[in-house]
Structure 1
Amino acid sequence: MKYKLEILEYYTQKPEVVISLIVTVISSLLLMGTLLFKELRFHNFDSIAILSLIFELVYGAGLSFIILRKKETYIHLTPFLILNWFIGCFCLNIFIPVFQDLPIWVYFATLAFCLSNFFIYRNSDESRNIAIPFFINGLSFGIILYFTAYLIPVMPISFVGIIALGLGFYGLVPALVLIIHTATIARYLNRNKIYAVSFSAGFLLILISLAVFTIGLSIESRKIAQTARLNSFDQNADLPNYITISQHLKPNFFNEILLKKDIVYIPLHDLFSFGGFNSFGSKQYNDKKTHNPFISIAYLFCKDLNLSNDDRINILKSNFDKRLETEEHLWSGEDLFTKTIKEDVKLYPEARLAYTEITMKIECSKDSWRDQEAIYSFQLPEGSVATSLSLWVNGIERKGVLTTKEKAHKAYKQIVGVESRDPSLMQWKEGNKVVVRVFPINQKNPRTFKCGFTTPLKVEDNEMKYQSLSIKGPNISNAETISRIQTVGNTKIVTSKDFELKKDFYINQSKGLDNWEALMPLTKPLQSSSFTWKNKVYEVKDIQKTVIPFAPVEIILDLNSSWTTKQIESLVNLNKKNVFVFVNGKKEAINNDNFRAIELEFEDLHYSLLPLYKITQNSLIITKCGTFSANFEELEDSNYLRRIRTETKQQNLKIINISSDINPFWQTAKEQKYVDYYQTSLKNTLQLINENQFVLFKNDINSVNIEPANISITQNPQNNTLKINGPDHIYRMYAFGKVLEEQVKIQNDTLTSNSYVELAKDANIVTPISSLIVLETDDDYKNNGIEKNVDTLGNASINNDGSVPEPHEWLLIILGSTMLFIYYAKNKKKAI
């Protein structure tokens, strides 16, 4: 350390070093401040950039003059000159965006190049071993070459700019640095082989890395292009063109980069098309456009995918789970982060249900000049429903009001987009997702919201399992999180996360939001659990399976890349004459002779979309799902979905899924009763086929099956013999099941008169036809035609989940309270 300090002291004693050091520190701070203000979207950051440029121009011109005049005396200042030139370039890029938005590694690579020059650009009498700086210099030299090549088209403009303002000089900086540095480095490399090897190793390492990356990206682009060409002969007019690519695209690092071309990453041919940066198509993708040199170079060697931006976004949604990124943003939310999370879970083992309440505090990391909008996505376990929403307004908790999805969306857009005031909106999305929006948020106004979800406890073997919610939103990873579990009854639980028992509650404190689960023993037989509401009793019972005779007219194997040869062979070996597959939309028989050849047709098909409307009535479909697919929302405008909705339900199709997973397409088809769905093992499937049987869950007009929990909720007239001891979540789950069952019948937008909207309001549940919204004032609800909840269950609560008094009971309570008050007042008067 002492040696290094001596070197620094010796270096600072050289002519003009101290002044150059001061100037460099000031200019660096100005650049960092300029970039920071740009990131904060301050409207006056360009004035700081101009100040920095003036500072740099004066210093650069003066230093260049004295170096040229007395080269031997001031040559040691060359690294300062190069560093300040690049600082000026980056400052100029702030308000004349020639480079556009650069990733942070570009700034660090340029800094590494400039700092290594301080060890290289020195007099020959200081001949110490500097192999490491030469290696770093070679590693970062590539960015200088890139800048030089990139700026060749603007060099003529730069010459004119020098004459006009002097600013055009910065367009020539990389080329000047390349000439100066090449001449200097060549002299050193000829003098010392170690330096030559070190520099070459660094430069070759970056070239090899770029080559490997480019080859990987190019291979994937050619695979996608070939898939599109091969399937262009078998276009299905019912499905969008991009679906073929989506089905054959396995999610990986390279594919995501290819799909983000023009959406996130700017290709070189677009860098000077200043007018087209926001032309994303009709769909929104919430990510900042970036000029990444590595990716921009690699794009030059890749095949064009011939996909519109809208098609790319749809594939990102289905194959890469980027649905949250495509949610409509009325205001930006990129500076937001989640400060705290409170995860409160209440388990009802007897009812096989759970209620999870999530409270989040959102803050703005920087003092942005405008309000921002937070959007969170909650991935719920199968069968779950959102049952509460609250937003704190001026320190007071305001609870959500349930209304139709159209009214809620219209009110939110009006108040956020036009009036810029306080709302929060909770919406149902396909695939067991719920999206929550909160507005406005700024540094002086952090926001707190709370939402609740009723979920079934999944039954597996002799255990019940609670699965935590998966949440995406503004920077959750560093949030201070406290999780609490409480159980109704004395059921013991075992958790995958380290909870500590404190005063009858299981408590855990952590950072971020982990995925965890809690296991409980399955009580047999099921304990009686029921809830009464409006003269009806909703009772939890064991789900009733029934085995029905079913000799399928045809057996359709829904093949994809997840099937194994043995699985296909076991079904083919049944020697049934009516086993078929759909190959490129056409039905083909599959048997012992051809199944291996047919299997090859599906080795790259990662999910399928069977034309259910073409399948013969009373057929059996055997599928093996993965976890991703296009969903009904992405297929909304297609003829395929229209035909699914109008021609499928009457086909009486039976589905057996031999996988434990279910993708978004089959999830919706199951929930909306387009098919009869059953999940079991391949062994059981073979047995059912051999015995011409199918398993159905018994259901009638007054019951709803909650399959993950192996329970059924039945509605009956109220009687005095049944003990009412269950939570109100029983009724909420019943109502949710009924709405989903009937969703297939209500595809139009005239929802306000539909009885199932009223059922959703009554149970206060978020569904495909209803949303929860919080507005700032009661007048806001009135002005937007939203009626506040009256005589409904209202928002669920972690502390209030028992039986709700009936209307006549409320009357008795009010009368009793009034009589007690009168009695108390009279006695008090007599006492006086």
Structure 2
Amino acid sequence: MAGDTWGRLAADGKLSPDLRSLRVEDTTYVNHAGIRVQVFPDQYVAYTEVDLQIESSSARESVANMLFEIPSGSVASSLTLWIDGQERPARFALRGKASQAFNTIVNKKRDPALIEWIDDRHLRLQVFPVSHVLPRRVKVGYVTPLDSQELELEYRSPTISGIRQDTASAFVTVEVFSDQQPQALTSNLDFKPLGVTAGAAKPFEAQTSLTKPWSVKFAARGEKPIHEPSTWSPESIVFVPRGGRPEARWNDAKKALQSAFPNATIGAFGDRLNWLTSSKDLTRSVEDGRTMRGLPLPFYQREMPNPSTTLYVVENDRAPNILTLRGTDYFRSMSNFFVNHGEGLRILGLDDAMSPFYSGLSELDLATVLSFDGKRLLQVPSLISSVRGEKMATEFVDRLVAYKQSMRHAILDEVRGDGTPDSLTEEMRKGHLVTPFSSLIVLETEGDYSRFGINDKDSEKNNTRPADPSLRESLGLVPEPHEYLLLAICLAAIAYMYRRRSGAVLG
């Protein structure tokens, strides 16, 4: 396992086969795109809808395959497909059942759409059929916890691959919902405020290429998440060098932590655990760590110290998101470790940024991330803990919490093998969530749903925005982008008729 790095896992075909096998189809392409973002700065959360018009240059009917890359911690909760000019909402189904239904219906030349979880940052969308005489329109919605830095929130755009989009433009609308007056947006796009406001929303719009990454920053509301002092003190401190930082950085960290915790035993993981009794021991561990580059904590080692008394000091390595590794020996070792140790890890980052692997452990309550001010340890709040379920974004927050529970279960169930509990399935169904265990699917007829036992028609109503009355009222008053144009035309016509009538009276 020592040489089982991410690069080798990928080369051996053990890492994200869905990502490796996805290739760009030359015949299918995105013609138009609309991206609508609803931001709730008071709750640190956003909801995004991506509306795509998909076309093909081929007469042959084919499946449009797309990979969505979205911010870590986001969860898809909406899918609609237009069939015969009507918008059809998706239904919730367990993953295996949804996949079987899609593949069977495609073989029968019917109209399905399916969105599946690939890993914490990727979703796969499939739509059938697409041809030059049959363009398709599909819409995907997902919820995102907003990253906060010094009370500044940032929203990052989704990216799409697997389908041509080089000529596609995207019309972007951002609506900010807040009890307070929203401030101007900061973005690499030229957002223009719209003159129409409704309820608590303030809309902005911009136009860009679908392939161009963009982000929006704005002031957060409420109090800054506080790094609370930790009352816990380590009995042992273990460094995990992986070749990304020079030995001097580790030596500086060793001196500072030894000064703050003089009774703690100091060790380091190279290819194995070494308790440091001299400066040469750290040098050897740092050198050994270079051969392990990309491989984080060695959960497969029996000598892993007790996490309840150990502080692990890590660097921002190249390790990917945790659930990308499902099915590997490393993932099973990690799952076994957390099943056997009820108390999670305590991690101190050598760098300001934390890798997706370690931040993922924190978000799933499998690890506590700490910072160090030179004298004491401070507890860093996780991203999901910063999200607050208040007022109009309550259901969005509930979906993020349910998604977090499903991710945690995916890790622990690798060893326990006790299946998905009914309570978790119900939470996923209620939130209409795309997870490792569940998908969203659109089928053409009620008979198709019945054939595969996807009879939960009630889940269709969860395929939309939250049901909070205050939010529904506000959203209902915010026009779609094309409705703004229609509204402007109507106002111009009314003004023209008024001037004409006034002129006739005065004449």
TM-score of Structure 1 vs Structure 2, range by shorter chain = 0.7 to 0.9
CA deviations 1:76-122 (Å, max 9, x no partner) are xxxxxxxxxxxxxxxxxxxxxxxxxxxxxxxxxxxxxxxxxxxxxxx
- The CA deviation at 1:566 is 3.3
CA deviations 1:672-719 (Å, max 9, x no partner) are 44x323164xx53x533xxxx45275xxxxxxxx626723449xxxxx
Q: 2:150 aligns with which of 461, 464, 478?
A: 461
Closer/same/farther in 2, CA of residues 676 and 565 from structure 1, 3 Å limit: same
Please say if residues 543 and 712 of structure 1, whose CA atoms lie closer than 8 Å, have aligned partners that are also in contact: no
Q: Secondary structure at the match of 1:728?
A: helix
CA deviations 1:753-808 (Å, max 9, x no partner) are 6210111111112122221111111111111011224278611339x764699xxx
Pair 1:389 & 2:79 matched: yes
Match of 2:298?
A: 611
Structure 1 segment 334-373 matched on structure 2, within 5 A? 334-367=26-59, 370-373=60-63
Pair 1:602 & 2:278 matched: no
CA deviations 1:496-530 (Å, max 9, x no partner) are 211122334322222233222212222234xxxxx
Match of 1:470?
A: 159
Please say if residues 672 and 742 of structure 1, whose CA atoms lie closer than 8 Å, have aligned partners that are also in contact: no
Match of 2:182?
A: 491
Q: How many residues align?
A: 451
Please say if residues 607 and 628 of structure 1, whose CA atoms lie closer than 8 Å, have aligned partners that are also in contact: yes
Q: Secondary structure at the match of 2:458?
A: coil
Q: Secondary structure at the match of 1:412?
A: helix
Distance in 2 separating the partners of 1:696 and 1:333? 44
Closer/same/farther in 2, CA of residues 428 and 749 from structure 1, 3 Å limit: farther
Match of 1:407?
A: 97
Q: Secondary structure at the match of 1:776?
A: coil
Please say if residues 91 and 459 of structure 2, whose CA atoms lie closer than 8 Å, have aligned partners that are also in contact: no
Distance in 1 separating the partners of 2:284 and 2:97? 53
Match of 2:436?
A: 768
Distance in 1 separating the partners of 2:360 and 2:392? 33
Q: 1:707 aligns with which of 380, 383, 401?
A: 383
Distance in 2 separating the partners of 1:586 and 1:386? 41
Pair 1:380 & 2:70 matched: yes
- The CA deviation at 1:727 is 5.2
Please say if residues 155 and 216 of structure 2, whose CA atoms lie closer than 8 Å, have aligned partners that are also in contact: yes
- The CA deviation at 1:663 is 4.1
Please say if residues 227 and 378 of structure 2, whose CA atoms lie closer than 8 Å, have aligned partners that are also in contact: no
CA deviations 1:279-324 (Å, max 9, x no partner) are xxxxxxxxxxxxxxxxxxxxxxxxxxxx9xx844447x6xxxx853
Q: Secondary structure at the match of 1:644?
A: helix
- The CA deviation at 1:468 is 1.6
Q: Which amino acid in structure 1 is aligned with residue 21 of structure 2? A: T
Q: Which amino acid in structure 2 is aligned with residue 419 of structure 1? A: K
Match of 1:592?
A: 279
Distance in 1 separating the partners of 2:470 and 2:406? 22
Q: Which amino acid in structure 2 is aligned with residue 566 of structure 1? A: A
Moved more, 356-365 or 512-521: 512-521
Distance in 1 separating the partners of 2:125 and 2:386? 29
Match of 2:465?
A: 797
Please say if residues 271 and 292 of structure 2, whose CA atoms lie closer than 8 Å, have aligned partners that are also in contact: no
**Structure 1 residue ranges without an equivalent (≥5):** 1-235, 248-306, 526-541, 698-705, 715-723, 806-832
Closer/same/farther in 2, CA of residues 753 and 549 from structure 1, 3 Å limit: closer
- The CA deviation at 1:449 is 0.7
Match of 2:211?
A: 513
Distance in 2 separating the partners of 1:660 and 1:801? 38
Distance in 2 separating the partners of 1:432 and 1:740? 12
Please say if residues 458 and 708 of structure 1, whose CA atoms lie closer than 8 Å, have aligned partners that are also in contact: no
- The CA deviation at 1:662 is 4.4
- The CA deviation at 1:647 is 2.8
Pair 1:687 & 2:385 matched: no
- The CA deviation at 1:636 is 0.7
Match of 1:623?
A: 314
Distance in 1 separating the partners of 2:187 and 2:385? 18
CA deviations 1:648-678 (Å, max 9, x no partner) are 34433212234454445435433444x3231
Q: Which amino acid in structure 1 is aligned with residue 45 of structure 2? A: L
Moved more, 449-458 or 573-582: 573-582
Distance in 2 separating the partners of 1:384 and 1:645? 22
Please say if residues 560 and 608 of structure 1, whose CA atoms lie closer than 8 Å, have aligned partners that are also in contact: yes
Closer/same/farther in 2, CA of residues 801 and 485 from structure 1, 3 Å limit: farther
Q: Which amino acid in structure 2 is aligned with residue 457 of structure 1? A: L
User: Which structure's relative contact order is higher, taking Cα pairs within 8 Å and 6+ residues apart?
Assistant: 2
Moved more, 554-563 or 661-670: 661-670
Please say if residues 629 and 664 of structure 1, whose CA atoms lie closer than 8 Å, have aligned partners that are also in contact: yes
Distance in 2 separating the partners of 1:433 and 1:628? 16
Closer/same/farther in 2, CA of residues 708 and 514 from structure 1, 3 Å limit: farther
Please say if residues 384 and 456 of structure 1, whose CA atoms lie closer than 8 Å, have aligned partners that are also in contact: yes
Pair 1:482 & 2:176 matched: no
Q: Secondary structure at the match of 1:336?
A: strand
Pair 1:556 & 2:243 matched: no
Instruction: Provide the TM-score with structure 2 as the length reference.
Output: 0.79
Q: 1:641 aligns with which of 328, 331, 343?
A: 331
Q: Secondary structure at the match of 2:164?
A: coil
Q: Secondary structure at the match of 1:756?
A: helix
Match of 1:265?
A: none
Which structure: greater strand fraction? Answer: 2
Q: 2:247 aligns with which of 565, 572, 590?
A: 565
Report the structure number with the largest CA radius of gyration.
1
Q: Secondary structure at the match of 1:601?
A: helix
Q: Secondary structure at the match of 2:295?
A: coil
Distance in 2 separating the partners of 1:430 and 1:590? 41
Structure 1 segment 287-298 matched on structure 2, within 5 A? none
Distance in 2 separating the partners of 1:488 and 1:524? 14
Instruction: Provide the TM-score with structure 1 as the length reference.
Output: 0.50
Distance in 1 separating the partners of 2:213 and 2:317? 20
Q: 2:407 aligns with which of 740, 763, 778?
A: 740
Match of 2:500?
A: none
Which structure: greater helix fraction? Answer: 1
Q: Which amino acid in structure 1 is aligned with residue 248 of structure 2? A: K
Pair 1:786 & 2:454 matched: yes
Please say if residues 26 and 164 of structure 2, whose CA atoms lie closer than 8 Å, have aligned partners that are also in contact: no
CA deviations 1:114-140 (Å, max 9, x no partner) are xxxxxxxxxxxxxxxxxxxxxxxxxxx
Please say if residues 400 and 773 of structure 1, whose CA atoms lie closer than 8 Å, have aligned partners that are also in contact: yes
Q: Secondary structure at the match of 1:376?
A: strand
Moved more, 354-363 or 426-435: 426-435
Q: Percent identity?
A: 21
Closer/same/farther in 2, CA of residues 629 and 545 from structure 1, 3 Å limit: closer
- The CA deviation at 1:357 is 0.6
Q: 2:110 aligns with which of 421, 430, 437?
A: 421
Closer/same/farther in 2, CA of residues 456 and 794 from structure 1, 3 Å limit: same
Pair 1:246 & 2:246 matched: no
Distance in 1 separating the partners of 2:323 and 2:39? 32
Aligned Cα root-mean-square deviation (Å): 3.2
Distance in 1 separating the partners of 2:209 and 2:380? 44
Match of 2:396?
A: 729
- The CA deviation at 1:390 is 0.7
Distance in 2 separating the partners of 1:436 and 1:657? 35
Closer/same/farther in 2, CA of residues 396 and 403 from structure 1, 3 Å limit: same
